[in-house]
Amino acid sequence: MKLRCVILDDYQNVALELVDWSSVLEKVDVQSFSNHFESEEQLVEAISNFEIVIIMRERTPFTASLFEKLPNLKLLITSGMRNASIDLVAATKQGVIVCGTASMSEPPTELTWALILNLARQITKETNEFRNNGPWQSTVGADLYGKRLGVLGLGKIGSRMAVIAQAFGMEVIAWSQNLTREIADKYGVQLAASKEELLESSDFVSIHLVLSERTKGLIGLKELQLMKTSAFLINTSRAAIVDKDALIKALRENWIAGAGIDVFDIEPLPGNHPFRKLPNVLATPHLGYVSEQNYSIYYREAVEDIQAFLDGKVIRQINS
């Protein structure tokens, strides 16, 4: 009897088309759901008979209570090798193997620059005016050349951000709890003495940190008040690094010029959320990792994970 595999949150309906699943189809039936299940009850009803589940990033959290309600689940595959929305301890307790895939750092870097450039030159506003036969030129763009980019986190993505910023002729300053002068010098950036120095002096602040207990709520009311009124905050990392309520207050009261946001505490974001209404917010629906090459890697390696599981030689296992 064949095993059953389900792909969750396949919003674009591309999972079964992007890669070749034929190597596992003799032993596994594969299907996908493009709709997002709003409640745990709906999700359990839909997937309780599946032994293999493939999830996309943190779109659908797998909590301890969910694992308990899925006794048939044997293999959970997540895109990427890190997923904070999976309770790995609960997975192990339930005997579920959790595996991951590779993930590219280029797509989120590119999306971050799309947000920065759009904010600086107010492209969305000007495009809307153009489409609606509005004023011919209604804004004056902010320059990148000669301005300072503050990078919170100088890892894979943060370091790429720094290199590209320098190509634009920007100064770059970086900070994180573990950042050393040696690493900063490697990328030709200034090491900020403190988070506060970076926030006070930067024209654009871009967040590229791993979410942890140390980084949760790292940017709050006090930090936002330090920023220039002409500065922009960009978060394509994790929503919880920035205090949502503090950011909404800062934007409503124009403490900063604006924010570019690609990550949210609830996804999909409710229709009445302030981020959908504030004029100084440029937001995208968590598109940082959504690119053809990245998706191809995710699903191709998901197939490999399934094949290895069937062969009894598990690869890329995240839990122990």
Q: Residue 206's closest CA among 168, 245, 249, 252?
A: 168
Q: Are residues 275 and 171 in the same domain?
A: yes
Q: Are residues 64 and 85 in the same domain?
A: yes
pTM of the predicted structure, to 2 decimals: 0.93
| CATH code where residue 114 lies | 3.40.50.720
User: 169: domain range?
Assistant: 106-283
Q: Are residues 148 and 111 in the same domain?
A: yes
Helices and strands (H and E) in the chain: how many: 12, 12
Q: Residue 275's closest CA among 248, 255, 256, 249?
A: 248
CA atoms within 13 A on the CB side of 296: 5
- Examine the residue annotation and report whether 267 is marked as an active-site residue of this protein: yes
- Mean of pLDDT values over 184-197: 98
What pLDDT is stored for residue 271 in this prediction?
94
Query: Residues 90-118: pLDDT tens digits?
Result: 999 999 999 999 999 999 999 999 999 99
pLDDT band at 1 (very low <50, low <70, confident <90, very high): confident
Say which of 267, 273, 300, 316 is annotated catalytic. 267
- Examine the residue annotation and report whether 36 is marked as an active-site residue of this protein: no
Residue 247 has pLDDT above 90, yes or no: yes
- Mean of pLDDT values over 294-318: 98
What pLDDT is stored for residue 176 in this prediction?
97
Q: Are residues 207 and 296 in the same domain?
A: no
Do the Cβ atoms of 124 and 101 come closer than 8 Å? no
Mean pLDDT of the chain: 97
Query: Residues 173-189: pLDDT tens digits?
Result: 999 999 999 999 999 99
Q: Are residues 32 and 148 in the same domain?
A: no
- Examine the residue annotation and report whether 286 is marked as an active-site residue of this protein: yes
How many domains would you assign to the chain? 2
pLDDT band at 320 (very low <50, low <70, confident <90, very high): confident
